[in-house]
A and B are shown apart, each in its own frame.
Chain A
Amino acid sequence: MSDILKMFTTVIKSLFKKSTCRQYPFKKPVFFDRTKGHIQIDRERCILCSLCDKRCPTGAINVDRNARTWAINSYKCILCFRCVEVCPVTCLAMQQQYSAPEEIKKSEVVEIPAKAEKAKA
């Protein structure tokens, strides 16, 4: 008898309690300050030293000095933030928003403006 009573109280409680579910995608995902999402570059500050390219353990970053591009393949990146640590001008940052799933794998290529253009801008 007491067991049944206990069961009923649990059921009633569960009926009125707030749901545990985060209700994604109807509500925004919850992030913390340190949440690792994706790597973002501040293209104005990058000096194309290609340290991040060399130190990345997975080879996700590709820096091309001649073409002045910085590319990241987020399907290779393991979010270890090693690149953030090594960048001498701290132009890389870990952002909270995760990279979205896609149907084809492609690198995100960022063009780094030349010094002269920067000065003009």
Chain B
Amino acid sequence: MSIKKSPWIIHYDGSSCNGCDIEVLACLTPLYDIERFGIINVGNPKHADILLITGGVNQQNKTVIKNLYDQMAEPKAVVAIGACACTGHFFAECYNMLGGVDTVIPVDVFVPGCAARPEVIIDGVVKALAVLEKKQQEKVTA
């Protein structure tokens, strides 16, 4: 049973500054190339197993993030990438921000850094795989 062998990811840009965004894309490109592990970036949430979110949540996109999360099939994992997505750092003080992603959906792995380096993002995705496996086990036994 292996989502673990080829997890598909979907990337959504919350309210990030693009810094973490392009680092997520950089993971897909030759130098880091996570396609080596069968990881594919897809555009459709219904196909995806792992949701990568960069940037925090604001008033406008909280429904979008909720929708995306609800549309994904079980089991699913969420990885919050960058200081913005984890806590919102100084943007959390802004009038339009709610804070980190965990204010609207459950987050499984937090990836620190501003901008998060591709290596950390890869580590984060690997961590999310373990979470995914666990969730699948739970589903099978339940």
Contacts and interface: CB of A to CB of B under 8 A. Distances in A.
Contacts of A76: 83, 86-87, 89
Interface string B118-141: 111011101100010000000000
Given A58-B83, A75-B83, A100 B114 contact: no
A72 to B, nearest CB: 11
B86 A75 contact: yes
Contacts of B1: none
Contacts of A103: 108-110, 127, 131
Interface residues of B, number: 28
Chain A binding site: helix, strand, loop or mixed by DSSP?
loop
Interface in A37-84: 57-60, 73-79
Given A58-B83, A75-B83, A98-B119, 16 more contacts: A20-B30, A24-B32, A24-B118, A24-B119, A25-B119, A25-B123, A60-B89, A75-B112, A76-B83, A76-B87, A77-B112, A98-B112, A98-B117, A101-B112, A101-B127, A102-B127
Interface of A: 20-22, 24-25, 29, 57-60, 73-79, 98-105
